[in-house]
Amino acid sequence: MTIVIGGGLAGLVTAHQLATAGRRITLIEKRSTLGGLIASDTIGGVRVDIGAESFARRNSAVTDFVRSLGLETLVPSGRSWIWNGSPLLIPKDTSLGIPADPHSPEIREILKDPDRVAADLTLDPSIGARVTTVAELVEARMGSEILERLVRPIATAIYSTDPSRLAINPQLKADFESTGSLAKAVAKGLSGPAVASVRGGMFHLIDMLVRDLKESGARILTDTEATGLSYSSGAKVTAVTAGEEQILTAENIVLATSITPAIALLNKVTDLEPFTVPTGKPTTHVTLVLNSAELDGAPRGSGMLCVPGTSRAKALTHLSCKWSWMREVTDKHAVRVSYATGKQVNVDDALADMNELMGTGIGPEAIAGSKTVRWGNALTPSTPGLRQRADSITTPDWLHVTGAWRAGTGVASVIPHALQTAAALA
């Protein structure tokens, strides 16, 4: 018997794998819902992801796992835009606005002097070879017009850092050194969409894991908080449901909560050195579900990132354009407007910001439903210091730790680590 503490993605994947391998499982989740930060809600009659909506495609682990559950993955639809006081469509086949093909019609259309960009293909490879920042490299190879028109706003919107302070990505630098051209280096690095999702929503993955777990006979205790850990004639968890305390015993325990409760529980059985948890940037997401033909044409594609200081919003995602499965289940549109730290926003603000960014004039009567989520410090940043501390933790052999704070933030880190944890136990 294994007890899994935490019913977020990490806990559910670990429990699922162990149950599939024939283990008896008890899963303990503090909240009334499962999935943790893979959260969803039904807004205006449409179920949408309100937490994580995608996963990074940097490895095939997530896709393989999702497919092993009989689910399909899909890549985003629609083009991306930047808001810099006015909308700017990010040209195709670019990275941070740097084109892989300087002769592409979209690049030539935007610039007064496109030949300066194309000069990169024939310039001596030593030009730009010693610079260290993105801005210096682009200016040296392709001139200042593309830097100002595309690279500066796009890089600033993505990284909130001016490209004059942005170090050149080591892979881009290596590709530039091997090809002698910035455009060719960008072309080498382009490899399709960086993210994908689950057809039907990320919440569909959670639903399937929970369904399989229930079918396997696993015991799932929601509204139950693990408050203590110990070992005497077996691993023991103190679990509290509606004020009632019970002690559960197992051969081993998987701790799959977020960082703060995990450290509190670890401290019950190991002497951890004082642990400073890095704080994430709080964000507010307002998701609007709308009845509006104005959005049928997806005026800003899958969405846009805003250059800091040019809009109250940080980003806008037209979810029902980005994820094609939504159009198969509803005629309504789902749009998420995201805000940075400390912004007090309401639905009216979000609608006004959406109209400005989208260039639409949609009134409040079009809103079928809305949901505002303030994420607080939910997203613990995976700093090098945290990684080092997490890696240095040793636990008794009956106790295993997984989850984003241990594995690295994001689905593409959490799933492989949970699979490894389950494999080590099974």
Taking CB under 6 A as the rule, does residue 303 contact ligand FAD? no
Taking CB under 6 A as the rule, does residue 201 contact ligand FAD? no
Nearest-5° angle of CA 167, CA 170, CA 173? 90
Taking CB under 6 A as the rule, does residue 10 contact ligand FAD? yes
**Residue 298 or 378 with smaller CB distance to ligand FAD:** 378
Taking CB under 6 A as the rule, does residue 282 contact ligand FAD? no
Taking CB under 6 A as the rule, does residue 153 contact ligand FAD? no
**Residue 256 or 304 with smaller CB distance to ligand FAD:** 256
Taking CB under 6 A as the rule, does residue 203 contact ligand FAD? no
Taking CB under 6 A as the rule, does residue 399 contact ligand FAD? no
CA–CA gap between residue 370 and residue 171 (Å, rounded): 42
Q: Which stretch binds ligand FAD (CB under 6 A): 122-130, 147-155, 255-263, 298-306?
A: 255-263
Taking CB under 6 A as the rule, does residue 9 contact ligand FAD? yes
Q: Which stretch binds ligand FAD (CB under 6 A): 126-134, 144-152, 212-220, 252-260?
A: 252-260
**Residue 39 or 138 with smaller CB distance to ligand FAD:** 39
Q: In the complex, what is the shortest distance from the CB of residue 330 to ligand FAD, in angstroms, rounded to a whole number? A: 21
Taking CB under 6 A as the rule, does residue 31 contact ligand FAD? yes
Instruction: Kindly tell me which residue out of 2, 3, 7, 40 binds ligand FAD, with binding defined by CB under 6 A.
Output: 7
Q: Which stretch binds ligand FAD (CB under 6 A): 24-32, 164-172, 363-371, 389-397?
A: 24-32
**Residue 160 or 164 with smaller CB distance to ligand FAD:** 160
CA–CA gap between residue 147 and residue 162 (Å, rounded): 11
Taking CB under 6 A as the rule, does residue 6 contact ligand FAD? yes
Q: In the complex, what is the shortest distance from the CB of residue 410 to ligand FAD, in angstroms, rounded to a whole number? A: 3
Taking CB under 6 A as the rule, does residue 3 contact ligand FAD? no
Instruction: Kindly tell me which residue out of 409, 420, 425, 426 binds ligand FAD, with binding defined by CB under 6 A.
Output: 409
Amino acid identity at 3: I
Residues in contact with ligand FAD, counted by CB under 6 A, come to a total of: 36
Q: List phi, psi (to 5°) of 397.
A: -70, -10
Among positions 49-88, residues that touch ligand FAD (CB under 6 A) are: 51-56
User: What SS3 string covers the chain?
Assistant: CEEEECCEHHHHHHHHHHHHCCCCEEEECCCCCCECCCCEEEECCEEEECCCCCEECCCCHHHHHHHHCCCCEECCCCCEEEECCCEEECCCCEECCEECCCCCHHHHHHCCCHHHHHHHHCCCCCCCCCCCEHHHHHHHHHCHHHHHHHHHHHHHHHHCCCHHHCECCHHHHHHHHHHCCHHHHHHHHCCCCCEEEECCCHHHHHHHHHHHHHHCCCEEECCEEEEEEEECCCEEEEEEECCEEEEEEECEEEECCCHHHHHHHHCCCCCCCCCCCCCCCCCEEEEEEECCHHHCCCCCCCEEEECCCCCCCCEEEEHHHHCHHHHHHCCCEEEEEEECCCCCCCHHHHHHHHHHHHCCCCCHHHEEEEEEEECCCCCCCCCHHHHHHHHHCCCCCCEEECCHHHHCCCHHHHHHHHHHHHHHHC
Q: Which stretch binds ligand FAD (CB under 6 A): 78-86, 110-118, 302-310, 407-415?
A: 407-415
Instruction: Kindly tell me which residue out of 261, 278, 282, 381 binds ligand FAD, with binding defined by CB under 6 A.
Output: 261
Instruction: Kindly tell me which residue out of 5, 146, 213, 313 binds ligand FAD, with binding defined by CB under 6 A.
Output: 5
Q: Which stretch binds ligand FAD (CB under 6 A): 80-88, 158-166, 300-308, 403-411?
A: 403-411
Q: Which residues bind ligand FAD (CB under 6 A)?
A: 5-11, 28-31, 36-38, 51-56, 225-226, 256-258, 261, 375, 378-379, 403-404, 409-412, 414
